[in-house]
Structure 1
């Protein structure tokens, strides 16, 4: 905003004219005695513009700058908190040996298929017998390096047509302890929901296989099972290839990068999927 030649009043030096200006300062002539002031900070505190319309316009400029400054400070604080949180997670993982099957895959019922992508959490189910009957299942291997893979199949379809609906990383503050509701919370950023067209191309058994029975595809009971770390990396890699929107591709790439970092995997050397359907 150009303020040169504008008349002002200073609380100490009195009346003057603005004779020079740059991005961070204004120079004011007070009866041939010039002084430089910080722009726009000095206005409203020490300097008042005589022209009301100009003063109102400057007020808007100052307000905008103040808002931008607050937003910048907020981002810096958020980044500071994020880095501190990452450091805490690294400390937790340092003492946690990563199991080769640290991931979890869920079989979602119809109700969960609707709610999971709104609430971004899923129940681990209840213990069915023993002294802990009725309490939430507590998957022992899960930590911040774990991903939650979401699958389903239609009741009239064979197990071979189980589809991947999406996945998410567990919350970065997750320590392995579930609340009384047994819900597994999602990371605030690393979440993917596939479209109906995409799920048709993402068959669960393209990635999963039973080492002892390589041609068997069964999931007779149970809410969840553990899943190999490398298999999730393969799934994310294929999701990246499926996505067409620039923003969605970038989000999936960031997910894969984060996942590989958290699970000590080489992102550039992920083997091709070799699940039961591919054998």
Structure 2
């Protein structure tokens, strides 16, 4: 902004005329001599432009600069917070060895299928025998880095048709071995619900594999079972490929990024799924 020859009023020196403006310094000619001031600071406290239009334009410039300054300060604060969380996360990884199967997969009954996407929590069920019969199961491996996978199949369906209905990250304060009610609550942000059409394409046994019996697709009994960290990342990756809505894609991408960070996984090196159904397909292809 050109301020040369603009008339000003100084709180102490009175009327003057700007005769020079170089970078952050302006030079003003007063009746009693030449004075130099820091630009634009002096205009905020000591100097007023006499021309109203020029003063208004300068004020708008100040407001834009102030807005930019606050945005930069906010970015710096957010970056500092991010770095602090990252340091905290790395320290946590150092002090707590992450189990390779720290995730949980639930078999939802009909009632749970109706309520889970409202309540966003699932029960681990009750102990069926022994001295603790009737007490809630404690999924001891679960930590804030765990995800809860939601699956179901109809009574008349084969186990190979088990669908993935959605998944969520466990609440960031949750610890499975200290849970008293057997409920596994979700994180407030990282939650995914699949449509019926999407769930039909996300078959559980494309990911899960029993290492001792790689072609077996049987759940047998039990409310839940533990699930591999890498398999969960594969599911999230495939959901991203399945989605078509840009906002939903971004939501799942944020979930995957958070999940990989919490489980010390390389987001750029997630192997392709190779569960029991994939194993069977390979055999059929070869045959």
Fold match, TM over 0.5? Answer: yes
Q: Deviations over 1:118-157 (max 9, x none)?
A: xxx423456457669566x542112243223233445664
Shift of 1:79: 2.6
Q: SS of 2:216's equivalent? A: coil
Alignment partners' CA distance in 1, 2:17 and 2:150: 68
Alignment partners' CA distance in 1, 2:68 and 2:174: 33
Within the alignment, does 1:30 sit opposite 2:33 as a pair?
no
- Decide whether the 8 Å contact of 1:168 with 1:187 is kept in 2: no
- Partner residue of 2:42? 42
CA RMSD of aligned residues (A): 3.7
Query: Which consecutive unaligned segments of at least 5 residues does structure 1 have?
Result: none
TM-score normalised according to structure 2 size: 0.73
Alignment of 1:98-113 (within 5 A): 98-108=98-108, 109-113=112-116
Structure 1 residue runs of 4 or more that deviate by more than 6 Å after TM superposition: none
- Decide whether the 8 Å contact of 1:18 with 1:26 is kept in 2: no
Alignment partners' CA distance in 1, 2:191 and 2:72: 26
Within the alignment, does 1:55 sit opposite 2:58 as a pair?
no
Query: Which consecutive unaligned segments of at least 5 residues does structure 2 have?
Result: 281-287
Q: SS of 1:167's equivalent? A: strand
- Decide whether the 8 Å contact of 2:116 with 2:122 is kept in 1: no
TM-score normalised according to structure 1 size: 0.74
Shift of 1:193: 4.2
**How many residues are treated as equivalent by the alignment?**
270
Quickly say closer, same or farther: Cα 1:9–1:179, change in 2 above 3 A. Answer: farther
Within the alignment, does 1:218 sit opposite 2:219 as a pair?
yes
Shift of 1:19: 4.6
Alignment of 1:120-269 (within 5 A): 121-125=120-124, 127=126, 137-154=137-154, 157-171=157-171, 182-186=183-187, 188=189, 191-213=191-213, 214-218=215-219, 220-222=221-223, 224-244=224-244, 252-253=252-253, 255-269=255-269
Alignment partners' CA distance in 1, 2:245 and 2:37: 51
Quickly say closer, same or farther: Cα 1:42–1:271, change in 2 above 3 A. Answer: same
Q: Give the helix-richer structure, 1 or 2.
A: 2
Instruction: Single out whichever of 158-167 and 229-238 deviates more from structure 2.
Output: 158-167
